[in-house]
Chains A and B, each alone.
Chain A
């Protein structure tokens, strides 16, 4: 069964460093998302991406964040200068179509900023 894959599973970084989280969405999907989940809290929307551009973003997704689809398979989330409060699970998701269809999530990357 096709699945969304994310790497690495766990990333530890020093405050102020840049990190890139990687995702390979399901191959025939067109809509891509990043969500995050701070420990013990609910899953929060960060950004959606369609047709090689950001379609929506939340207020969490400030200038420190960026997304890219550098080739036909990868979808990345970059945090330029990490802060302690960026520590969370980051989930990538993809959907075949737009609204009113299910989104499939990856297993997540646990980001720990020290």
Chain B
């Protein structure tokens, strides 16, 4: 069963630096992925998505990289700002319509 009080991986970066958040997804059949940002007390907020037929997708200040060989996703945030401080989840989708969320990474931006 799941452990109580899951300890999130944490990442601390200086304001203005680039951040890289990693995610190992679970199912090799997953063909669609989303990165969500969750601020304290709020719901997950969509950041960027990528389909499995791509290995890179860029948005505004964010880039997602997909490596299907090792089932790995990363989220790169350029010029990280204090407002980027949050927990970041990757979510994968296969077969059905629901998403399965990863454990999450807590990002702290140091001003």
Contact = CB atoms under 8 A, between A and B. Distances in A.
Interface of A: 4, 31, 33, 35, 40-45, 48, 50, 55-56, 58, 91, 95, 98-100, 102-108
Contacts of B103: 42
Given A42-B6, A42-B102, A100-B51, A105 B32 contact: no
A99 B104 contact: no
B60 interface: no
A40 B6 contact: yes
Interface range on chain B (Cβ under 8 Å from partner): 20 to 34
Contacts of A100: 31-32, 51, 93
A104 B97 contact: no
A91 B43 contact: yes
A42 B4 CA distance: 11
A45 B102 contact: no
Contacts of A48: 96-98
Nearest to B101: A43
A102 B89 contact: no
A56 B98 contact: yes
A55 B34 contact: no
9 contacts: A41-B4, A42-B102, A44-B101, A45-B99, A91-B43, A91-B44, A100-B31, A102-B46, A107-B42
Nearest to A4: B43
Interface string B69-86: 000000000000000000
B32 to A, nearest CB: 4
